[in-house]
Amino acid sequence: MTDPLQGTLADVTARALRLARAGDHRARPARINGNTAILTPHRTESGHLDAADLAAQAYALALGLSSDDGHYTDGYFTAAGLGHYVPAPDNDDQPHPQDSEKHHVPGLKRWF
């Protein structure tokens, strides 16, 4: 087992990205704000490191909302250096106008 990444959101995110970019793609434990989870570097379809996904995992962990697919983050995620929000479908099985739209979230920093 690897040593856990610990510190602030910025510290853990930067270290996780640095390790993954250096070729260390192991899942590793991380701790931010008293929350602990496993951060797992993923690859894009073209085989490159998905830095947005790894940064989003750290962001969710810092909020205590860690999830691999965004389910527990209520649809918040980062992509291309911007924060986005994709609301979950309504439970009434009726399409919601925003169900398939991405929304920018002001204030989310670019971590990569």
Q: Residue 18: what pLDDT?
A: 96
pTM, entire model: 0.61
Residue pair 9/32 in contact by the 8 Å Cβ criterion: yes
pLDDT single digits (tens) 12-21? 999 999 999 9
